[in-house]
């Protein structure tokens, strides 16, 4: 039995040793597992979470080992917010089993528990990995969203991140505390269970031993051993009871702590939920804000880019401008020398402006002269009309002269007849005694004489009338000749004046162009040199002021030196004090006087320069005013269509309607001049004739006297007109002359109208006479007088049919022959046409035949009717 108990004890001890080994193995396996887990997961985890594996491994190992389980992420030095969040989530999702763990009855159960814990850890890790993946995916999604929106990546707002980080940190701390406490509780419970199991096993062993000892009755030693063992057992029991009560207290404390911590955890979870919601809202707002900020930043970036481009362009422009300015600066140094020259030019410009003004006035005067020229040209046209009238009057004069000559010849004939009659009367009176003439013959002769005397008287009266008419015509002729000569003289004078004015206009235009160029160059000089010279003057003033400051500084130094020498004077022993002071005073006074003099000179120079600048400013203002005035004038002219020859060409076709009208007018004027010359020549010839006639003297009796009288009258009229014209020309009273010419023109118009009426009346009379005498009505068919086409209709044709081609002939009169045009009516007279016109070339015979035919047929009808009437009667 003892051997059995010893074996059992040995077995029990070996079993307990084996259990202890198992526990050790469990611990070492858990450590190795945790370490292996850490190493594996560290390899499998994403690069962002190497610390997570370490933390998980540490926490897992803390879940098994009691002492090291209290390590928190903060204690482990976790500072990464992402890692903290993971550890927080890990801690949150780590829910230890609520009930007491199953008693580790064996190593298998321990292993199972470890495996369960490991699986649980893996699940947590997977969850955390999922969460990590989610978070990573959400981060990626947000980064993708930002990238898709073209927004720059931006960290969240610092305040928001700080709040979140603080809350996460608090939550992680609390979770780690809870986990640590739970781990400690589990470890203590497992340790207590192990101890209880060990105590139970020891009790069982002791009971077994007691039973075995009881089976060895009688053994005192064994009884003493049993009593010892029982005492030990009692001691162990007491210790166990103490330990149990202590453990129970610790457990109660832990439970209380767990309850408190769970409460805190719940509070924290609620707070975390609220924070989460708030943070979600804030995150949303932050995202919106980020979006807005990003879009704004984009806009700002775009604007900045555009501004940068604009600034780069501006920079290049400014560089170019700077280069121009530098060039202008160089030019301004040259232009400064030209300032005086410009002043002279300005004076010259003033004088040129005055000249331009006078030129403009001359141009205006030229316009007036042109208008006057136009008026005179109109007067010339009127004079030409008068000249035409004069031609008509000459014709009239010629006819009147013919009539006068015929009247004179008739008067001469009558005078001869009268002389013959008187001779016959004398002869008859001589013969009266001897011969007795019949009373009839005498009376007839006396009647003939009386009629001859009457005719003579009538002829004399007619001659006188004709002479008066001739004299009037000659007077009007001479008047018109004088007017013509005057108009010619005026034309010549005006042409000369026109040539002069054209020459002046050319000169003025050239001068105007020159002045325009001068003004443009002056303006250019003002534009280029104005600012440069001003800057140069300002620079000069600043130099002068700096020089003045230098002089003042020197003066101050001299005064300071003076004061220092005055203070150092008592220490000098070599020179007498008074002489030293006098010398110093002299030096100081000389320096002072030099400084004052220099400052006065500089001040006067500055004042002078300022005056010059003021004057230049005034000149510049005046030039600006001139420039503005000229610009306004140019703008006005530009609006009106003036062209700047520097930029614009004004073009026209050389052959244009205005040019053609001008040429036509020139041609017309040339023709009129030729006609005028011809008329003047004719007038001169007429005057010569009149003078010759007047000089020829009286041919006989009254006729010669009348001729002499008319010539004298004509000469006197011409002389009067010449005198009048010379008076008018001498006075230069053109308006009076124009009025006179107008009156003359009206008179001539009236005369011309009367002549036309008389001509028409005579033409009608002539036509009527032809109609009645020759039996044909003659009408001018064509409007063109040069064509000379006549329609001739017989008086025996019905009046209504006289104008038609069926009852009239058409004749065209040529210079040497007459053409009969073919009509329907001509075909009716074909045989007569052939006989008279074609064969014998006698149109009058043909017309007479036609008339006789008509007359014969009408006479036959009348005679037959008369005969019929006679027969009837």
* Shorter beta-carbon distance to another protein: residue 649 or 772: 649
All residues at 6 or more sequence positions from 682 whose CB lies less than 8 Å from its CB, including other chains: 394
Nearest distance in Å: CB 287, another protein = 45
Contacts 24+ apart (CB under 8 A), 1-4: 1/212, 1/215, 1/216, 2/212, 2/216, 4/212
* Residue 822: CB minimum distance to another protein, A: 34
Of 150, 217, 647, 783, which one interacts with another protein (CB under 8 A)?
647
Q: Does 667 bind another protein (CB under 8 A)?
A: no
Q: Is 772 in the site for another protein (CB under 8 A)?
A: no
Confirm or reject binding of residue 379 to another protein (CB under 8 A): no
Q: Return the residue of 521, 656, 753, 822 that touches another protein, per CB under 8 A.
A: 656
Judged by DSSP in three states, 454 sits in: helix
Q: How far is the CB of 640 from another protein (least distance, A)?
A: 6
Shortest CA distance to 58 belongs to which of 44, 46, 42? 42
Nearer to another protein, 623 or 676 (CB): 676
If binding is defined by CB under 8 A, does position 370 make contact with another protein? yes
**Residue whose C-alpha is closest to residue 533's, from 613, 623, 604:** 613
Residue 654 sits in the site that holds another protein (CB under 8 A): yes
Q: What is the gyration radius of the CA atoms in the chain, in angstroms?
A: 77
660 binds another protein (CB under 8 A): yes
- The answer to whether residue 652 forms part of the interface with another protein (CB under 8 A) is yes
- Say if residues 346 and 619 touch (Cβ distance below 8 Å): yes
In the list 198, 642, 687, 702, the residue contacting another protein (rule: CB under 8 A) is 642
658/773 with CB nearer another protein: 658
- Judged by CB under 8 A, does residue 367 bind another protein? yes
- Which 226-245 residues touch another protein, going by CB under 8 A? none
Least distance in angstroms from the C-beta of 358 to another protein: 18
Of 486-494, 552-560, 640-648, 863-871: span binding another protein (CB under 8 A): 640-648
Closest separation in Å from C-beta 664 to another protein? 8
Give CA 104 to chain center in angstroms: 101
- Any contact of residue 662 with another protein (CB under 8 A)? yes
Among 67, 148, 439, 651, binds another protein (CB under 8 A): 651
- Any contact of residue 643 with another protein (CB under 8 A)? yes
Is the CB of residue 422 less than 8 Å from the CB of residue 446? no
- CA–CA separation, 181 vs 263, rounded Å? 14
Enter the DSSP assignment of 74.
T
Q: Is 735 in the site for another protein (CB under 8 A)?
A: no
658 contacts another protein (rule: CB under 8 A): yes
Buried b / exposed e along 98-113 (16+ C-beta atoms within 10 A): eeebeebeebeebeeb
CA distance 519 to 110: 117
CB of 360 to another protein, least distance (A): 11
Q: Which helix (H) or strand (E) holds 445?
A: helix 439-568
Question: Residues 17, 141, 577, 661: which binds another protein (CB under 8 A)?
Answer: 661
Q: Binder to another protein among 117, 168, 294, 373 (CB under 8 A)?
A: 373
Strand 808-813, strand 818-821: pairing: antiparallel
Does 573 bind another protein (CB under 8 A)? Our answer is: no
**856 in helix, strand or coil?**
helix
CA-angle at 467, arms to 465 and 473, nearest 5°: 105
Among 218, 340, 649, 815, binds another protein (CB under 8 A): 649
Q: Which is nearer to another protein, 500 or 787 (CB)?
A: 500
Instruction: Name which of 77 and 641 has its Cβ closer to another protein.
Output: 641
Closest CA to 694 of 419, 474, 406, 409: 474
Residues 445/421, Cβ–Cβ less than 8 Å:
yes
- The verdict on 730 binding another protein (CB under 8 A) reads no
397 is an interface residue for another protein by CB under 8 A: no
- By CB under 8 A, tell whether 378 contacts another protein: yes
> In this structure, what DSSP letter does residue 153 have?
P
**Are 463 and 404 in contact, with CB atoms under 8 Å apart?**
yes
Q: Does 506 bind another protein (CB under 8 A)?
A: no
Is there binding between residue 857 and another protein (CB under 8 A)? no
785 interacts with another protein by CB under 8 A = no
List the one residue from 377, 591, 627, 752 that touches another protein (CB under 8 A).
Answer: 377
Residue 13 vs 659, nearer CB to another protein: 659
Nearer to another protein, 573 or 654 (CB): 654
Structure tokens at 3: 């051997």
CB of 483 to another protein, least distance (A): 20
Distance CA 204, CA 512 (A): 145
For the chain, how many residues are written? 873
Helix (H, G, I), strand (E, B) or coil at 821: strand
Least Å from the CB of residue 367 to another protein: 6
Candidate ranges 22-30, 417-425, 468-476, 654-662; the one touching another protein (CB under 8 A):
654-662
- Give the Cβ contact number of residue 83 at 10 Å: 20
Rounded least distance, CB 738 to another protein, Å = 16
3-state SS of 267-289 is HHHHHHHHHHHHHHHHHHHHHHH
* Cβ atoms 720, 481 nearer than 8 A: no
Q: Which residues of 737-751 are buried (b: 16+ CB within 10 A; e: fewer)?
A: beeebeebbeebeee
657 binds another protein (CB under 8 A): yes
Stretch that binds another protein, among 77-85, 255-263, 449-457, 635-643 (CB under 8 A): 635-643
Q: Which residues bind another protein (CB under 8 A)?
A: 367, 370-371, 373-374, 377-378, 637, 639-643, 645-662, 665
């Amino acid at each position: 039995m003892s051997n059995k108990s010893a074996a059992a004890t040995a077995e029990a001890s070996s079993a307990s040793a084996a259990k202890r080994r198992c526990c050790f193995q469990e611990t070492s396996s858990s450590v190795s597992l945790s370490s292996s887990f850490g190493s594996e997961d560290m390899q499998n985890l994403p690069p962002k979470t190497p610390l997570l594996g370490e933390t998980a491994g540490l926490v897992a190992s803390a879940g098994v080992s009691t002492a090291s389980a209290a390590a928190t992420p903060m204690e482990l030095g976790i500072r990464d917010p992402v890692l903290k969040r993971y550890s927080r989530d890990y801690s949150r999702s780590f829910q230890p089993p609520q009930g007491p763990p199953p008693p580790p009855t064996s190593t298998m159960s321990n292993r199972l528990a470890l495996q369960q814990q490991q699986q649980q850890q893996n699940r947590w890790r997977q969850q955390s990995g999922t969460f990590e993946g989610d978070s990573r995916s959400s981060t990626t999604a947000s980064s993708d969203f930002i990238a898709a929106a073209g927004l720059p990546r931006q960290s969240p707002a610092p305040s928001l991140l700080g709040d979140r980080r603080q809350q996460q940190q608090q939550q992680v701390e609390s979770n780690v505390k809870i986990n640590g406490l739970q781990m400690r509780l589990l470890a203590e419970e497992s340790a207590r269970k192990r101890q209880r199991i060990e105590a139970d096993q020891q009790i069982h062993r002791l009971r077994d031993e007691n039973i075995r000892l009881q089976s060895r009755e009688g053994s005192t030693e064994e009884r003493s051993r049993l009593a010892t063992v029982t005492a030990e057992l009692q001691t162990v029991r007491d210790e166990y009871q103490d330990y149990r009560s202590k453990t129970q207290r610790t457990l109660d404390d832990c439970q209380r702590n767990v309850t408190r911590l769970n409460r805190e955890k719940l509070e924290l979870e609620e707070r975390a939920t609220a924070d989460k919601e708030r943070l979600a809202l804030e995150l949303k707002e932050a995202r919106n804000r980020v979006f807005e900020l990003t879009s704004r930043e984009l806009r700002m970036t775009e604007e900045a880019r555009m501004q940068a481009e604009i600034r780069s362009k501006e920079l290049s422009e400014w560089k170019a401008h700077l280069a121009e300015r530098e060039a202008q600066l160089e030019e301004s140094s040259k232009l400064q020398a030209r300032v005086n020259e410009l002043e002279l030019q300005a004076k010259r410009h003033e004088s040129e402006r005055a000249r331009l003004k006078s030129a403009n006035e001359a141009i205006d005067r030229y316009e007036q002269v042109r208008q006057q020229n136009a008026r005179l040209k109109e007067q010339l046209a009127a004079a030409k009309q008068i000249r035409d009238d004069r031609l008509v009057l000459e014709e009239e004069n010629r006819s009147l002269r013919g009539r006068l000559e015929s009247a004179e010849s008739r008067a001469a004939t009558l005078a001869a007849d009268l002389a013959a009659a008187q001779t016959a009367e004398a002869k008859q009176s001589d013969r009266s005694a001897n011969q007795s003439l019949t009373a009839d013959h005498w009376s007839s002769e006396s009647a003939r004489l009386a009629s001859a005397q009457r005719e003579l008287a009538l002829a004399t009266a007619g001659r006188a009338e004709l002479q008066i008419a001739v004299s009037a015509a000659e007077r009007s002729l001479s008047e018109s000749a004088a007017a013509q000569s005057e108009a010619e003289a005026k034309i010549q004078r005006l042409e000369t004046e026109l040539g002069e004015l054209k020459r002046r206009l050319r000169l003025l235009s050239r001068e105007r162009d020159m002045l325009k160029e001068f003004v443009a160059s002056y303006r250019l000089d003002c534009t280029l040199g104005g600012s440069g010279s001003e800057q140069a003057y300002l620079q000069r003033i600043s130099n002068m002021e700096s020089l003045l400051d230098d002089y003042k500084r020197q003066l101050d130094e001299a005064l300071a030196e003076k004061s220092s020498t005055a203070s150092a004077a008592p220490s000098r022993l070599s020179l007498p004090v008074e002489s030293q002071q006098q010398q110093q005073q002299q030096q100081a006074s000389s320096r002072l006087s030099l400084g004052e003099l220099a400052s006065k000179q500089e001040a006067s120079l500055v004042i002078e320069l300022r005056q010059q600048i003021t004057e230049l400013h005034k000149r510049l203002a005046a030039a600006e005013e001139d420039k503005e005035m000229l610009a306004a004038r140019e703008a006005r002219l530009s609006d009106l269509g003036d062209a700047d020859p520097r930029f614009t060409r004004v073009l026209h076709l050389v052959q244009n309607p205005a040019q053609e009208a001008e040429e036509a007018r020139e041609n017309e004027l040339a023709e009129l001049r030729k006609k005028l010359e011809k008329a003047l020549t004719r007038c001169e010839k007429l005057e010569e004739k009149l003078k010759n006639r007047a000089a020829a003297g009286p041919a006989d009796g009254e006729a010669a006297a009348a001729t002499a009288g008319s010539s004298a009258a004509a000469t006197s009229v011409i002389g009067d007109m010449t005198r009048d014209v010379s008076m008018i020309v001498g006075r230069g009273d053109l308006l009076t002359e124009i009025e006179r010419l107008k009156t003359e023109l009206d008179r001539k118009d009236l005369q011309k109208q009367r002549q036309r009426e008389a001509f028409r009346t005579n033409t009608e009379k002539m036509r009527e006479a032809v109609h009645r005498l020759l039996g044909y009505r003659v009408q001018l068919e064509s409007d063109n007088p040069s064509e000379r086409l006549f329609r001739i209709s017989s008086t025996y044709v019905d009046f209504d049919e006289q104008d038609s081609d069926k009852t009239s002939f058409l004749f065209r009169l040529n210079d040497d022959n007459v053409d009969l045009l073919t009509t329907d009516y001509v075909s009716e007279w074909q045989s007569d046409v052939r006989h008279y016109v074609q064969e014998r070339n006698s149109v009058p015979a043909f017309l007479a035949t036609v008339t006789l035919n008509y007359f014969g047929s009408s006479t036959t009808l009348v005679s037959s009717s008369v005969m019929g009437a006679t027969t009837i009667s």
